[in-house]
């Protein structure tokens, strides 16, 4: 499967089912710069997955990291985004997503693309994948952007997500920042 940033393929590490996420060269960038960017993004994503595990979040276990690829545990499950095509999101799913984000933020992990497209239901509970746009940051605006991204993705249920995030231990200052970010966006849309 090919995305904007990477190519995913099923593989095995020892006897375990795995996924390899490979970042191919972008020909529009100078070669040395491209290698630096791909190497840094690959290492950063591996670190973020490790921190997410430390936060108690279900996510792929990293098996191997090379310059431009990560081999990680293959998670069996159904993407939340696909499930929501045929039904509305359940309150339990909103609560699970909120718990994940609050746990990530407690260790300064910013996902960068926290939406139903990067959440999946597994036999162990809801998991989060694809930290390719993430970073480690204590900045409340970065964390507020994660909240805004999910709120926008959930539409009418976005407000319920923000409340669930607070109940899960997310900070009020982050939700307030999310409101400020949304206000700026509304101002930009009118202007």
Active-site residues: which are they?
113
- For helices 140-154 and 158-167, angle between their N-to-C axes, nearest 10 degrees: 140
Q: Are 66 and 11 in contact (CB under 8 A)?
A: no
Q: What is the C-alpha separation between 78 and 53, in angstroms, rounded?
A: 20
- DSSP labels for the chain? -B-SS-EEEEEEETTEEEEEEE----TTS-HHHHHHHHHHHHHHHHHHHHHHHHTT-B-PPEEEE-SSEEEEEPPPEEEHHHHTTSSPPPHHHHHHHHHHHHHHHHTTEE-S--SGGGEEEETTEEEE---TT-EE---HHHHHHHHHHHHHHHGGGHHHHHHHHHHTT--HHHHHHHHHHHHHHHHHHH-
């Amino acid at each position: 499967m090919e995305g904007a940033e990477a190519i995913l393929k099923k593989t095995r590490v020892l006897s375990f089912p795995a996924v390899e996420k490979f970042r191919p060269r972008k020909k529009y960038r100078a070669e040395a710069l491209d290698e630096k960017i791909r190497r840094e993004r690959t290492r950063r994503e591996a670190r973020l997955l490790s921190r997410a595990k430390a936060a108690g979040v279900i996510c792929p276990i990293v098996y191997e990291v090379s310059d431009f690829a990560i081999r990680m545990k293959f998670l069996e499950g159904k993407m939340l985004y696909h499930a929501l095509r045929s039904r509305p999101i359940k309150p339990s799913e909103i609560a699970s997503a909120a718990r994940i984000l609050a746990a990530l933020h407690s260790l300064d992990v910013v996902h960068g693309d926290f939406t139903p497209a990067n959440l999946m239901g597994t036999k162990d509970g809801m998991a989060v994948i694809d930290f390719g746009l993430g970073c480690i940051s204590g900045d409340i605006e970065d964390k507020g952007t994660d909240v805004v991204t999910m709120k926008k993705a959930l539409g009418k249920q976005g407000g319920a997500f923000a409340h669930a995030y607070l109940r899960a231990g997310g900070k009020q200052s982050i939700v307030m920042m999310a409101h400020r970010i949304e206000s700026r966006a509304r101002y930009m849309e009118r202007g």
